[in-house]
Amino acid sequence: MAGPAKIAFAFSLLGALAFAAPARADDAMAQADRFFKEGRRAAEHGDFASACRHFEESFRLDPGVGTLINIGDCAEHLGDLERAWQNYRTAYARMPENDDRAPRLRSRIDSIERKSAKVDLHMDDAPEGTVVTIDGNVVDPKKGPRHVTAGAHVVLVTAVGRRGTRYNVSVGEGESRSLHATPGDVLEAVLPSSVPIEHQKTSWTRPAGIASLGLGAATIWVASLAGMMAIDRRDVQHVSCNASGCTPGGVDAAHDGATWADVSTVTFIAGGALVALGATLVVLSLATPKKTITVGLGAQGFVLSGSFR
């Protein structure tokens, strides 16, 4: 390609890129506007859960102050006062001083601070990956007290390898409660440890049995966590529903609770079957006298022990 041709090609490429960038920006703005309008329609029909999802997608494409205010509004209608408060404060901080929406927004921030209760979580012995929820919403205890509606709330703390802990907290309007929480005791699995070397070499039943026992113990642990989540969702449904009907959050909690209950039942059955199979295989592998087997999930969990003479 000759020198003038190369220059012409470069300019044509730059021109194409220059036109492509505004086109992509215009497309994103159009999508943001579409999501915003869908959010407004959902809010007008009282479907604030859908409204929040549409507003958040609009904000992702076009992070405007007005969209933040609408996210806060639908969160406030859903009873998530912490989320509403955070979005209002962020929007207020981004507003110019002469914005005519500022006084009304400041009033809404003050209203939440007056009417809300606060739960201040302090984690004791929490390993990496600990998950904390309040009424099913994941929270970060490191961010300080969380704004909640006055009344009863359920705090659930779970972590891999722990039993999990559930707390019932009741706070009044303007009240602040401090809670020291923990994911519970460590789950332990005790498996057979003394089998002669000749059996390890000649029999497949023992390693298969140990593998089945381990998988069964893990499955039962998953089932226990699913059961706790089902209880948590049931409590949220109880708080969100009354004789006149349920809030959208209550309907979601009822649906999620049924799902978690089914998961818990199926995994408990599967875990019990795996433990029974594993124990049977290990027992069959014990061909010499005076052999003992102990299987369990810890001091308070499932335990199988026996002596063969």
Measured CA to CA, the distance from residue 222 to residue 122 in angstroms comes to 25
Global pTM value = 0.48
Residue 172, CA distances (Å) to 108, 132, 168, 181 in order: 20, 21, 14, 20
Segment 206-235 shows an average pLDDT of 73
DSSP one-letter string for 65-82:
HHHHHHHHHHHHHTT-HH
Distant-in-sequence, close-in-space partners of 126: CB < 8 Å, separation ≥ 6: 157, 159, 181, 182, 183
Q: Please, are residues 201 and 194 in contact by the beta-carbon 8 Å criterion?
A: no
Segment 142-168 shows an average pLDDT of 87
Q: What is the pLDDT of residues 113-154, one digit of tens each?
A: 888 888 888 888 888 888 998 888 888 888 888 888 888 889
Q: What is the pLDDT of residues 227-259, one digit of tens each?
A: 777 677 676 666 666 656 566 666 676 667 677
Q: What is the mean pLDDT of the chain?
A: 76
